[in-house]
Chain A
């Protein structure tokens, strides 16, 4: 079984400050982890993914995420937030050993960046 949790419904941050959007996961085998962003009335846009290798993954628009196996976390980060980063962010996980290629999505975290 695979599951993912995004503990925060909403994250507020001032423009220019660093941001973190949290994600924890649970899988039986090795995780395949993703972050997506969704703007209002739009589909999901891929930000980054982790399969294996370096624990720090760099993605689109200056975002990065750190894979932490011991804490089963994959938090999304950005050193300096922009107002245009305000959107809904989804973490997703797929169990690489499960044979299924269907990811499970978290409930989403609304990021609000204040000017």
Chain B
């Protein structure tokens, strides 16, 4: 089946630093990728939709200057949390849409802890 990987799986960083999370579709091309944020015991909150080669579309209330998204190729999207603060600590999940089959597949998630 289709596989989406995320790296790193967990990261601890100091307040004020930036962290980059990678999302890769391993065996299919993904023109569209999605970034979600999940708080403990809560549902997924869509942060942004990224299309390969163009600017990401951010959901209302999500700061695009803080959460930088780049989708430079059909198999890779990155989310950079800039100047991280403790309130950015969360579980970030990416998802990739298979351009051919139209299905959406999820990555395993990245646990970010900002100290």
Chain A residues in contact with chain B, CB under 8 A?
Answer: 36, 41-46, 88, 90, 101-103, 105-108, 110
Within 8 A of A (CB), among B19-66: 32, 34, 41-44, 46, 49
A-B contact count (CB 8 A): 41
- Determine the main DSSP class of B at the interface with A: strand
12 A-B pairs (CB sep. < 8 Å) = A41-B111, A42-B109, A43-B6, A43-B93, A43-B107, A46-B106, A90-B43, A101-B97, A102-B34, A102-B46, A102-B49, A108-B43
Interface size on B, residues (CB 8 A): 23
Asked if B104 CB lies within 8 Å of chain A CBs, one says: yes
Please give the residue numbers on chain B whose beta carbons come within 8 Å of chain A beta carbons, in ascending order.
4, 6, 10, 32, 34, 41-44, 46, 49, 91, 93, 95, 97, 102, 104-109, 111
Residues of chain B within 8 A of A108, CB atoms compared: 41-43
For residue A72, give the distance in angstroms from its CB to the closest CB of chain B. Answer: 19
In the complex, besides A43-B4, A106-B43, 4 extra interface pairs with C-beta distance below 8 angstroms are A44-B44, A44-B95, A46-B106, A102-B49
Residues of A within 8 A of B105 (CB): 46
- Contact B93–A44 (Cβ < 8 Å): yes
Our pick among A43, A101, A107 for the contact of B42 (Cβ within 8 Å) is A107
CB pair A43–B46 under 8 Å, yes or no, is no
Establish whether residues A110 and B106, one from each chain, have CB atoms under 8 Å apart when the complex forms. Answer: no
